[in-house]
Amino acid sequence: MSDLIKIIIVSIFAQNIILSKNLGLCPLVGSTNSRKNALGIGICVLIVNLISSILIYFIYKYLLVNTNTTYLKTIITILLIATLVQIIEIIMKKRFNSIYKSLGIYLPLTTTNCAVMGTVLLNISNNYNFIQMIVFTISSSIGFMLVLYIFSSIIEKVNKNVPSCFKGYPVAFIIAGITSMIFMNFSI
């Protein structure tokens, strides 16, 4: 049980997928102009992460390892994530059209989101069992969503009072750096 608690705390705070591994920066600076968008992309990443991690866990453990083709893990992960994102995009377009429109290009970019890819591949490289994999995947996704939400909250406030030369990406990367330093204090 203490191993699972350690995985939760480490993956949300100390080794946050965005702030310590620098994975998922595209949605961080691109889709966090509102808290609604941050939560929308965070939920999409959670769903894609969870489904792809479960599927890749079984594919890797029971197919790739048994056939001695573990070198295919990256390409299979990419194909699986791309397929899942397309399915989620179709569902969101039909059921949650307002969120779909507000996310714009950033929903399909989840396909190439390295935070999703990183989480799935970290599950393999950390050699997690099924329960640990689920806990790590959910915690990593919550950490991702937490950073997006905090970041979007700050951006909403700061963008009103920032000089025009700092609007957009410059202020986004400054805030990302400061937020990263704050989260790095959890790793001590």
Domain count, the chain: 1
pLDDT of residue 110: 62
The pLDDT score that the predictor gives to residue 112 is 55
Residue 138's domain spans which residues? 2-187
pLDDT given for residue 56 in this prediction: 94
pLDDT digits (tens), the chain, 188 positions: 789 999 999 999 888 888 888 787 777 777 667 788 788 788 888 888 999 999 999 999 999 999 999 999 999 988 888 888 888 888 888 888 887 777 666 667 665 568 888 999 999 999 999 999 999 999 999 999 998 898 888 888 887 788 888 877 788 888 888 877 877 766 65
Distance CA 44, CA 40 (A): 6
Q: What pLDDT, on the 0 to 100 scale, is given for residue 11?
A: 92
Q: Name 127's Cβ contacts closer than 8 Å, sequence gap at least 6.
A: none
Task: Please tell me the predicted confidence (pLDDT) of residue 76.
Answer: 92
Q: What is the pTM of this model?
A: 0.84
Angle between helices 114-125 and 130-158 (to 10 degrees): 150
Please give the helix or strand (H or E) that residue 84 lies within, else none: helix 73-95
Burial class (CB in 10 A: 0-12, 13-18, 19+), 26: middle
Length of the chain: 188
